[in-house]
Amino acid sequence: EYAYAVLDALENSAAMVPAHWWLEVANAVLSGERKGRLTAGEAARFLALLDGLAVTVDSQTAVKSLTDTFALA
């Protein structure tokens, strides 16, 4: 239910994600496929759906990781 609400929200707005987000997504999808939770076709459809969403990659992730995030840790 929550995932569908997020998907609906992305129809009218964009999401800001860290630079490594696509790598994390790819890892999760591949892991799900290897564990038999989804087929290769389902994985491909999911990645195509994500690619069509308004997702903005934060170009400052690397810089922030050395300053803001490091300070928080």
The one-letter amino acid code at 13 reads S
Residue type, 1: E
Residue 69 has pLDDT above 90, yes or no: no
- Per residue in 8-67, pLDDT (tens digit) is 999 889 999 998 999 999 999 999 999 999 999 999 999 999 998 999 999 888 888 888
- Is pTM beyond 0.95? Reply is no
Q: In the prediction, which pLDDT does 60 show?
A: 87
Are 51 and 10 in contact by the 8 Å Cβ rule? The answer is: no
* pLDDT-derived band at 71, boundaries 50, 70, 90: confident
Q: Which residues contact 66 (CB under 8 A, 6 or more apart)?
A: none
DSSP-derived 3-state class of residue 14: coil
Q: Any residues with CB less than 8 A from the CB of 61 and at least 6 apart, and which?
A: 18, 19, 20
